[in-house]
Amino acid sequence: MSDFKAEFLEFAIGQQVLLFGEFKTKAGRLSPYFFNAGLFNDGLSLKKLGEFYAKAIDASGLAFDGLFGPAYKGIPLVSTLAVAFAAEGRNLPFSYNRKEAKDHGEGGHIVGAPLAGRVLIVDDVISAGTSVRESVELIRAAGATPCGVAIALDRMERGLGQLSAVQEVSRDYGLPVISIVNLDDLAGFLSTRRAARPEWSATLAAIEAYRATYGVRA
């Protein structure tokens, strides 16, 4: 596992963004973990989150010209990522959408830089893929090209069919999906640290059982 992946998991657990226990998902499943990126809710944690996104995207080698964050969670994510890239010496344009078009002032759905060239979509997770679909449509309508999606966590979990939501996005739109971490990373992290945190042995067993029922292969 890359160092930044382990650092991110430690960070997410420390911020109580990643919790262990029993949580009901939208699909009605009882998940042994819960991830809520909305709890990166102060300046320092948001700054660090942007830096982790930048590290994962840099490691992917994906080429892109601009960044797009779907409303609403994608707005702070794309903003902090743009700042993180600027700190690396890479000044990138970014934009995001409104849920409803504005009929005065500058008008329209898009706020920020004009969409142009190859655009990377930035979000927290992919559940049903709805925000990705809407983002792809907005980017293409502006004459730009969606080139990938960056998320914080890939749950590697089946939707209604045999593929995960991430795999469905890749299949349907031909887009690579970059995640800071995925469920394999989380399982590996817990496995290597359970000697120091004995309670994580039960957590790891629960995650492995959940993945055996609902998981997909990378």
Task: State yes or no: pLDDT of 108 exceeds 80.
Answer: no
Structural domain containing residue 34: 3-214
Give the active site residues. 102, 104
**pLDDT single digits (tens) 148-174:** 999 999 999 998 789 999 999 999 999
What is the pLDDT of the chain when averaged over all its residues?
Answer: 93
Q: Is the pTM of this model over 0.85?
A: yes
Q: Which pLDDT band holds residue 26 (cuts at 50, 70, 90)?
A: confident
pLDDT at residue 1 in the model: 67
pLDDT at residue 106 in the model: 52
CATH number at residue 208: 3.40.50.2020
Q: How many domains does the chain have?
A: 1
Task: State yes or no: pLDDT of 103 exceeds 70.
Answer: no
For 128-137, the CB contacts below 8 A with 24+ separation are 128/159, 128/165, 129/165, 129/168, 129/169, 129/172, 131/70, 131/74, 132/70, 132/169, 132/173, 132/175, 133/172, 133/173, 134/70, 134/97, 135/68, 135/70, 135/74, 135/97, 136/173, 136/175
Average pLDDT over residues 64-76: 96
